[in-house]
Amino acid sequence: MIIYPTMELQNGRCVTLERGRLDAPMLWHVDPFETVSGWASAGAEWMHLTDLDAVEGGDGNAELVEQIIRKAEIPVQLAGGMRTRERIEHWIDKGAGRIVVGTLAARDPALVKELAKRHPDQIVLSVDVWQGYVMTDGWRSQSAYTPEAFIDAFSDTPFAAIVVTDIDSDVEEVEAKLGLISGLAAQARTPVIASGVVRAADDISRLAYVPNIAGALVGRALFRKALSLEDALSIAAGAHERVAQFQ
């Protein structure tokens, strides 16, 4: 299972959202480049980067995002405001390892299917779930899709992964039950990356044994120092180590 240390940018600064609210960020006084360098040194294979300004249609973080992609020693999975072909292909051209799409998939599924075929292993589907429905526009709009129907609509699409966010768990910070994510992972033909459920080492241990969970986004817990990246990587790497059988 791959651990994706996660950074969210707003107005050029590293933040995490309190209860999912764009207007109530928790600001972290860290250098983005030093933070990413530390993640690479710790052994991370990937990182996840969300441009919160782009979610609202702004481009104030564009230069910073480009610099992070260019300077990071690990590939970047980029999310935030990916609502047109031009924007998606712009960031692929700029070197993003993967692009995460959610709102566009709900609005124009045919385009997203085409992009996934055109860019193998670079398009990731985002499935943000709140009270039984897929949310779009940065969790602000409820779609008509259940998560099961949404995933089924793309069953033959060659996504690199599907990021499933349990918004209820993320914003309430309740103990992760994993029922939603494990159920969707069992249904999906594409490997699932869990989001919104890791707050401690035990959460990673439990996720690692859920079939078809290929990774987990870990952001707030790292910035709060409730979990170290080194510990997260170690737990994820060791969860499925083979044990010698003695006669």
231 or 172: whose pLDDT is higher? 231
* pLDDT for the residue numbered 174: 54
- What is the helix (H) or strand (E) element at residue 149, kind and residue range? helix 147-153
DSSP string covering 59-124: -TTHHHHHHHHHH-SS-EEEES---SHHHHHHHHHTT-SEEEESHHHHH-HHHHHHHHHHSTTTEE
**pLDDT beyond 60 at 102:** yes
Q: What pTM was estimated for this model as a whole?
A: 0.92
- Which residues are paired to 195 by β-bridges? 165
CATH 3.30.420.10: does it fit domain 2-238?
Answer: no
Distant-in-sequence, close-in-space partners of 179: CB < 8 Å, separation ≥ 6: none
Catalytic machinery residues: 8, 128
Distant-in-sequence, close-in-space partners of 61: CB < 8 Å, separation ≥ 6: 9, 10, 11, 12, 51, 52, 53, 54
* pLDDT for the residue numbered 9: 97
Round to whole Å and give the CA distance between 164 and 158: 16
Q: Quick one: 74 exposed, middle or buried, by C-beta within 10 A (0-12, 13-18, 19+)?
A: middle
* pLDDT for the residue numbered 6: 97
